[in-house]
Structure 1
Amino acid sequence: MMNRELAQAIQDKLPEAFSLVRYLYDHPETAGKEVQSSKVLVEALRQAGFQVEYPFMEKELGYGTAFRAVLENGKGPRAAILVEYDALPEIGHGCGHNLHGPLSILAALGLARCKELFSGTLEVIGTPAEEEEGAKLHMASAGLFDGMDLAIMMHCGSGPCSQTEMDATSLRCYIVEFYGQSAHAAGSPWLGHNALTAARKFMDLLDARRDSFQPGTIMSEVILDGGKQPNMVPDYAKIRMEFRSPSMKNLEELDRIVRNCAQGAALALDCKVKFTLGFPDFYDMARIPALEEKVKEKFQEIGAPIEDPLPAGGSSDVGNVSYHCPTIQPIISITDAPYSLHTPELRDATLTPHARQQMAVGAEVIAETVLAIFNDGGFREKVREDFQRVLASKKG
């Protein structure tokens, strides 16, 4: 059952946490530039007794807006609550980071108020730039989450029900450049090798392969450079492409297909092609059944509507964390209206009384799940067994 003392601590801290929601809404800062956003979140954690490293991993990330706040409370397991706080260009917090970032802070403040309920180390990790080259990609590869017993956060969503997990696809991004030979497009086109045509045929070949893709495969491309003027045969073309798959294993097969299509198009047009990774891969989500069952149980105990996750559609750098330790990212519904992510409607929904109430629900679910990891050795072992089994199936 839900712990009444913890629930009360979260209610007591709710006004403070919801003031952070409003602050981030009024002061949106985009990826890697979350200077004031990170400062106000860090200050709330300092005031609660956390030992804060800020900036954190500045050299590795190339910006100083990440943080790690640690509450050492005796010997025991290690758990991390993840925090997001970057906004989108132009529309601000259309993904709801201004609410679910402070939601994570609220859960941490509640746990800090109730230290007598657990023994172990709680880390609150500020993870900037989720909307671009997410900081979690680099944190995970640096081993920050290795050996953790749990990493957890929630993401804002909409609709009548919250969801036990936000499933995610793996994602790879390439900059694909074609190099040809310039010539006069009317006077001597036979002397040229058209890089733009090679780029177009590359995309045509990708389209021709779509009917044989596995379910859940998504490919999208844009031409960044296709030549300078029409009376010259373009000697250079540049494409940015992303492809997604339900698994990292299938992502490697897609990579082979993508490269073959590019080489074929380049060969046919007497061009050369170059691949550059746009950013590190986003991993699919290593879903942990025991964690999803626990989250569902906690939502139900509060009396909040909850359902199983929808099929993966987008990607998240939380997926990379999930390959290093047991990880979960439920979706907390902040409005009954079916608003899409990355919209002004969802952004504005973060300020409603219903969103404030849901913020407390989400914080309580996070905090209770962390308590279960700290205090229930049997549950912790089941989570670890699920993690090892799921990871083996993904890497096998």
Structure 2
Amino acid sequence: MGGQGIEDDITAYRGLVRAEQEAWRERLLRLSHDLHAEPELSFAEHRSVTKVTDVLREAGFTVEPGPADVPTAFTAEYGAGEFTVGICAEYDALPDIGHACGHNIIASAAVGAAIGLAAVADELGVRVKVVGTPAEEHGGGKVLLLERGVFDDVTVAMMVHPAQHDTHPGHFSSQAVSRFAVTYGGRASHAAAAPHLGVNAADAAVVAQVAIGLLRQQITADCRIGLFVREGGAVTNIIPERSVVDCEVRAFEFDEMSELKQRVLACFEAGALATGTTMAVEPTEPDYAELVQEPEMSELFAAHIESLGRELRDTRGTRGGSTDMGNVSKVLPSIHPSIAITGCEHPPHTHGFAAAAATPAADDAVFDGAVAMALTAVDVAIDPVLRQKFLAEQATRGTAATRI
């Protein structure tokens, strides 16, 4: 087929996608507001899953609830082509401040992208697979689904995330993060009558925090260490026999993060050594890898976002933030761009951002994100070089590469 023929086909497919999405616009925006009105925490997103999958069923998708023994996950599929486009939907909220990361926008944009792409799926030889991924904030839903094979049949994956600015996917990454709890065990005693018989577990936590505070001077600016004392005693007249510290370590490369984690653990060991307490370490959730944005898909998405009148901001050098989409991106070609809630003055994870996630500007982010993702998928599927490249990568990937 000549170049002009391909261009004509792309134009026709884009028109069909846009027409289908326009027909569903009000339903998609209502979904976003319905999710926003009833925020649910990680692994408890039961009403949210029902809301999202009800729309997908209405659009003719086949829904599988609870794949891989993850109750608040789902998959929804349309089409039977060899090329599977995976679109990730997040819908968990944050404690106390609700949808302050805009996951209502993420889920609704994912549904909109899938519905638009389904309109041309048979013609393109594409299978559309929406993967409902719970517990992104805490719990690593995508990691569980990845390790249990839910992404094995996905050729490429994508999602969009709301932010204060529109970003080129290729200019944005995220930090790898490891979260764990350290428990110190000591011996209780009367703090006034027999303090010398006690082994103070709370002191171990203090020593560790001081050591970590000093360590922060010796790490690079793109690394982060965060912690809080979850348990550290009950009353003043009993030497605490148990303390628990929750900690996270971040860096922009997984290996660098792992090395920093060992240095942090040495600080915790110092607390145990100095106080004579025992020490146990356990992960509190799966490790998240850094994002790897697929370059050619990134350029396609960026072009479509700009065609919608959005101005991309160069965010290279941005610090902070982690996502379990990083684990997916380390295994298969993926994009995770940011889309602006235009005019929002508040960063994510604030009350201000939560309020902005249900405004007309948030509605625009839902629809524009859906359009740009669907059109990116059309471009990839119809390009014979890209299509074959990604299918070949999928064929050689197998199931052994599901862990970072």
SS of the equivalent of 1:306 reads coil
- Distance in 2, matches of 1:139 and 1:226, equals 35
Are residue 324 (structure 1) and residue 331 (structure 2) matched?
Answer: yes
* Structure 1 equivalent of residue 361 of structure 2: 354
Distance 1:28-1:229 versus aligned 2 partners, 3 A rule: closer
What's the CA shift for 1:5?
A: 2.4
- Distance in 1, matches of 2:355 and 2:270, equals 48
* Structure 2 equivalent of residue 291 of structure 1: 297
What's the CA shift for 1:385?
A: 9.6
Residue identity opposite 1:66 in structure 2: A
Aligned positions of 1:357-368 closer than 5 A: 357-368=364-375
Aligned positions of 1:336-355 closer than 5 A: 336-355=343-362
* Structure 2 equivalent of residue 9 of structure 1: 20
Distance 1:383-1:338 versus aligned 2 partners, 3 A rule: farther
Q: Give yes or no for contact 1:49–1:112 (8 Å, CA) kept in 2.
A: no
- Distance in 1, matches of 2:285 and 2:208, equals 21
- Distance in 1, matches of 2:293 and 2:319, equals 11
Aligned positions of 1:1-396 closer than 5 A: 3-57=14-68, 59=69, 61=70, 64-74=71-81, 76-146=82-152, 148-159=154-165, 161-164=166-169, 166-310=172-316, 311-380=318-387
Residue identity opposite 2:209 in structure 1: M
Q: Give yes or no for contact 1:78–1:123 (8 Å, CA) kept in 2.
A: yes
Segment drifting more, 241-250 vs 354-363? 354-363
Q: Give yes or no for contact 1:45–1:69 (8 Å, CA) kept in 2.
A: yes
Residue identity opposite 2:264 in structure 1: V
- Distance in 1, matches of 2:214 and 2:361, equals 47
- Distance in 1, matches of 2:58 and 2:164, equals 32
SS of the equivalent of 2:284 reads strand
What's the CA shift for 1:127?
A: 1.0
Q: Give yes or no for contact 1:288–1:328 (8 Å, CA) kept in 2.
A: yes
What's the CA shift for 1:386?
A: 10
Distance 1:126-1:223 versus aligned 2 partners, 3 A rule: same
Distance 1:384-1:197 versus aligned 2 partners, 3 A rule: farther
Distance 1:121-1:274 versus aligned 2 partners, 3 A rule: same
Instruction: Give the TM-score normalised by structure 1.
Output: 0.89
Q: Give yes or no for contact 1:154–1:330 (8 Å, CA) kept in 2.
A: yes
- Distance in 1, matches of 2:356 and 2:385, equals 39
What CA RMSD, in Å, does the superposition of the two structures yield over aligned residues? 2.4
What's the CA shift for 1:382?
A: 6.0
Distance 1:384-1:341 versus aligned 2 partners, 3 A rule: farther
| Contiguous gaps of at least 5 residues in structure 1 | 389-394
Q: Give yes or no for contact 1:288–1:383 (8 Å, CA) kept in 2.
A: no
Distance 1:146-1:56 versus aligned 2 partners, 3 A rule: closer
Q: Give yes or no for contact 1:164–1:306 (8 Å, CA) kept in 2.
A: no
Residue identity opposite 1:78 in structure 2: T
What's the CA shift for 1:186?
A: 3.1
Q: Give yes or no for contact 2:138–2:285 (8 Å, CA) kept in 1.
A: no
Q: Give yes or no for contact 1:173–1:240 (8 Å, CA) kept in 2.
A: yes
| Contiguous gaps of at least 5 residues in structure 2 | 1-9, 397-402
Residue identity opposite 1:338 in structure 2: E
% same residue:
29
Segment drifting more, 82-91 vs 99-108? 82-91
- Distance in 1, matches of 2:182 and 2:293, equals 32
What's the CA shift for 1:383?
A: 6.3
Residues 273-292 of structure 1: CA deviation (Å, up to 9, x unaligned): 11111111111112322222
What's the CA shift for 1:312?
A: 4.0
Segment drifting more, 42-51 vs 335-344? 335-344
Segment drifting more, 162-171 vs 33-42? 162-171
What's the CA shift for 1:116?
A: 4.8
Residues 281-323 of structure 1: CA deviation (Å, up to 9, x unaligned): 1111123222222221222233321134452411111111112
